[in-house]
A and B are shown apart, each in its own frame.
Chain A
Amino acid sequence: MTTELQPLHGNQACALAAVAAGCRFFAGYPITPSSEIAEHMSHELPRVGGVFVQMEDEIGSLAACIGASFGGAKAMTATSGPGFSLMQENLGYAAMTETPCVIVNVMRGGPSTGMPTRPAQGDLMQARWGTHGDHPIIVLTPASVQEIYTETTRAFALSERFRVPVVVLYDQVVAQLLESIEVPPAEQSVAADRPWAAAGNGFQPYAETESLVPPMVRPGEGLRVHTTGLTHAPTGFPTQAPPVADRALKRLLEKIEKHRDVIDKSDAYRCEDAEIVIVACGITARAARRAVATLREEGVKAGLFRPLTMWPFPERAFRAATANARRVLVPELNAGQLILEVERLTAGRRPVAGLNRVDGEPLAPRQISDRVKELARHD
């Protein structure tokens, strides 16, 4: 089967990809610039036997998604910064109870109401650390409409496979951009279901397994278990026994680390011989790629490292991409968030510089290439 080319808006591609991945439940609340996702889902889901519901707020939206996921549905919600802030408690609940769900956060200027119609990348750290306590999470950062499609389907696959909430993080520009994309055949997009538990003697819903991902119980089929956001023992019931609590949290974190080969995804462009590697994501990465091309024409050995899985940060690929670099530049639409992770991994081995924009405008390729040249003068 051949793929077909379709002109789609970013938010529309997100909705279509979700349905193709098998999403059958969407609960959301209107917020710029993500509302189109809800609108498309309200149109698509009843046609495939799914359910769309507009909730009273973003807290309820994620709660309803988790509730639907309890029942076995692949579920998604979409929002922007203020709504994402409201979702943080339930995001932690999904992580703790290992309930698959996909949260799309279309980033806009912040903090607070900020600039609802302008792009930003200010939620990178919130997406990783927004909810309280140590927790597992996967965050994907597509940079084009095509990638919104593929990363949204990947979000469902990862969320289901590892029973973890997955955040799809992109900005207002890509969200409302119209691009012709290749829509893969439906069968390629379908996300496999989470592992399901089968009834058996002595079943424990959070027992240690080889994959560290316990099979999930589908209600109504013979196993009756308890699900709680309290720290719980393998039995599912609350515990405060230090060794049990220790293992419970560590398993949550380890199940992500153990599967980094599947979860990690990044793109390195002309990094092999790069003396300066630009690390960027989303719309900024697109400008950076153009800057790299221009710089290369001008003889500057620049490269681009682009995490598609932002969290957990693809460390191994990053280290490989920057192995020969003398410098690293991190352009981003915030006051400096991604740079913190880059600095942590670089650990002072080479200088890391930032290029930040918080005025509601995207970075232009020229601004990035100029900054690279400015840095090169110091060498």
Chain B
Amino acid sequence: MSAEAKRAPGAETAGGRNILVVGVGGQGVIMISKVLALIGQRRGFEVKQSEVHGMAKRGGIVFSHVRFAPKVWSPTIAKGEADALIALEWAESLRWLDFLKPETGVFIADTRRIVPPFACLNRQQGAVTAYAKATPAEVVERISNAYALDASGIAAGLGDARAANTVLLGCYSVALDEPLEHWREALDLFVPKAARAINHAAFDAGRTWAEAARAGTQEVPTMPALFSARGPAVKSELEINAAWCKGCDICVKLCPERCLALDKKQIAVLTKPDACTGCRVCEWLCPDFAITVHQTAVGAA
């Protein structure tokens, strides 16, 4: 897609905006949505902001609907009605995609990935996570107004990765014709004094990035594969010495994968060899030294 064909972030509608800010707990979704709400108010609109964050622990899902227009009835944005989707986490950006207005909606997302535990159900060493597979390049290819950037990396480069939300805010700011001072004033209301300088820098960096993107000079970030367990793939085999096993049941009950059982003679047996990750918990906890875990590298000579 050529840079010329791409529209500026947020330039699709005049007047009011429906902005969906999403991310996970601890990233600052609420903070930037409050800034956006304040900007809307300053522009003389009626503003509604509704958020879900109370049930989200650090790492849980957080979203915030920001609507400003001459008259706002519903506090939430319906599917396909968001003018902009600002995502602080990559998988969250994908999950809310159907809220974006077809064709005109603007997509801004941090490419940072925060992998939830349930995406790591396969704990085999070397196993790839169940985390969203779509890459930034694929998303940018499919959505007309998509901007994927390593906001966390940019913020980290400025001194604090936690300012990634403000980088994204700065990125979106080019879509609203609002003086820079207004943004800064709004930011200063919501960030602690000590964090003001870094947030201003992050905001500016986001804005600069967006301007360059509009000029078509930004590269789409790439993502390496995610592994759910450290290290290269290995094959684990359990050697169970039936003569030593006393059937205490510890390995069966404490195996995280539940892949052991006691047979009719009350001897431990491996019932689900494919589920075994070779974590060695059974070997460590066997009071009778009846289990030995052997691991060999997959594809090793």
Asked whether the complex places CB atoms of A and B closer than 8 A, the reply is no
Write the residues of chain A forming the contact surface with B, with a CB cutoff of 8 angstroms. none
